Structure 1
Amino acid sequence: MNIAVIFAGGSGQRMNTRSKPKQFLDVHGKPVIVYTLEIFQEHKDIDGIILVCIESWIEYTKELTKKYNLTKVLDVIPGGKIGQESIFLGLKTVYEKYDKNSIVLIHDGVRPLINNNVISDCLDCVDKNGNAVTIAPAIETIFRKNEDNTVGEIFKRSDCLLAKAPQCFYLKDIYNAHLKAQSENKYDFIDSASMMQYYGYKLYTVEGPIENIKITTPSDFYIFRAIMDARENLQILGF
């Protein structure tokens, strides 16, 4: 089976929104999280979705899945105190209910600009190599900051990639990595890729669209809305 584990547990503090977390903000009358879920819902090779959510928003989220006919959402569960714990809870739900050889696609609920090709390429990469980390090329200069706030080593852009999502693994591999991390009391991994690399896995990349942003700040939200406006205008013009 191919199961998407979608993390929608952020409170959106950097968005400065008081009424709703960022994943539930509307664009053209539809919440951001629904745009994300629909991509996985419509992909022919995705068998199910586990959604990890803020506990107080679970009932609202379930209402959204019914309203938008998101039939592949198998369960909506509460997240943990930190991202790593929330991802583990999603993986644990899959592990307890489905084949241990399933492929899991770990994705941010506020990353709605992936497409079917990215999902297909990720599944093919896992089948061939055992894992897949979605990336995009670095388009700006990256350097290391020195302790005195001066510019340190400057990296060649051609040598740098930006880690995106989904990040995809065989369920048994990523689940066991989480168990190892817990046994070692390590809760500081920035994402699943960093955890898997730490435990000795060679990671393989799949290039996705540069616009595959994570909506974290108000400017990210406005970029997403502008992209959706442009897509709608192109449809109206028949392109």
Structure 2
Amino acid sequence: MNIALIFAGGTGTRMKNIGKPKQFLELYGKPIIIYTLEVFERHPMIDKIVVPCVHGWENYLIELVKKYHITKVDKVLTGGKDTQESKMNALKYLKTFVDDKDIVLLHDAVRPIITEDLITQNIESVKTYGNAITAATFIETCIVAEDKHNITKTIPRNTLFIAKAPQSFYFKDVWEAHVAGEKMPYTITIDTCSLMTELGKKLHIVPCDNDNIKITTPDDFFIFKALVDLKENKDIFGI
């Protein structure tokens, strides 16, 4: 079984929006989270979707799921006080019915520019290498300034990648990692890739385009709009 965990627990303080959490902001009348869920809904290899949702918005999301006919959503959970707690809530729920070798894809509700091909590559990477970390190439010069003022080092960009999502694992591995992560300092366990790295796991990169953005700021929202418009124009003109 292949299960997508779509995290919708954030409130979006950097979006400077006081009305709705960022995952529920709309583009052309459709919430961002629905753009994301629709891709997983269409994918023939995804069996179930579980969504940890920001507290107080669970019923709103359930109604959206019904409205847009997202039939693979198995459960809308209440998210935790932070990302780590939300992940553990979701993994504890999965532990009630999944097998150790079921594949779990962890993805952000506010990362809607994902393709079905990228989902396929994640699943195949887990089957081949045991895991998948979606990552984009680093296209700028990277510098290190430990005092935030003076450059101490430049790092060759051909050795750098930007970790994105999905991040995908066998259930047994991601469960054991997050159980171990509960005993670690919070700064180490920000995301599953960081946690797995700290635990010494060998991780495999699945490359993606830089347009696999996470919508965090108003600028990101307008980039998302431009990318949706571009795709629509390509579809119209058969490009």
Q: Which of 187-196 and 45-54 deviates more? A: 187-196
| 1:186 corresponding residue in structure 2 | 185
| Residue type at the aligned position of 2:17 | T
Task: Give the C-alpha shift of residue 149 in structure 1.
Answer: 1.6
**Corresponding residue SS for 1:97:** coil
Deviation sequence 1:51-92 (CA, Å, 0-9, x none):
010120000000011011100000000111111111121111
Shift of 1:3: 0.3
The aligned residue for residue 34 of structure 1 is: 34
Question: Take 1:186 and 1:156, find their aligned partners in 2: how far apart are those partners?
Answer: 29
Tell me whether 1:48 sits opposite 2:48 in the alignment: yes
C-alpha distance in 2 between matches for 1:118 and 1:34 = 18
Where in structure 2 are the equivalents of 1:57-96 lying within 5 Å? 57-96=57-96
C-alpha separation between the residues in 2 aligned to 1:154 and 1:233? 40
In structure 2, C-alpha distance between the alignment counterparts of 1:26 and 1:73, rounded to whole Å: 20
SS in 2 for 1:3: strand
CA deviation map 1:132-171 (0-9, x unaligned):
0000000111111221521221111111111000000111
Residue aligned with 1:210, SS: coil
Aligned partner of 1:161 in structure 2 is: 161
Match of 2:201 in 1: 201
Q: Give the TM-score normalised by the residue count of structure 2.
A: 0.96
TM-fit CA distance, 1:238: 4.2
How far off its partner does 1:235 sit? 2.9
User: 1:167-204 deviations in whole A, cap 9, x for unaligned?
Assistant: 0011111111111122x243331210111111121000
SS at match of 1:56: coil
Instruction: State the identity as a percent.
Output: 46
Aligned to 1:98: 98
Residue of structure 2 in register with 1:213 after alignment: 213
Task: State the alpha-carbon separation in 2 of the partners of residues 44 and 168 from structure 1.
Answer: 17
Unaligned runs of 5+ in 1: none
> Which region of structure 1 is more displaced relative to structure 2, 67-76 or 151-160?
151-160
**Pair 1:15 & 2:15 matched:** yes
The one-letter code sitting in structure 2 at the alignment partner of 1:100 is D
CA RMSD of aligned residues (A): 1.2
Q: Distance in 2 between matches of 1:226 and 1:99?
A: 41
- 5+ residue gaps, structure 2, are none
Distance of aligned partners of 1:155 and 1:105 in 2 relative to their CA distance in 1, 3 Å threshold: same
Contact 1:114 1:208 in 2 (8 A): no
Instruction: Give the drift of 1:237.
Output: 3.3
Superposed CA offset, 1:72-124 (max 9, x none)? 00000011111111112111111112222211000011000110111111111
Q: Is the CA contact (8 Å cut-off) linking 1:23 and 1:33 kept in structure 2?
A: yes
Deviation at 1:215, TM superposition (A): 0.4
Paired residue secondary structure (1:74): strand
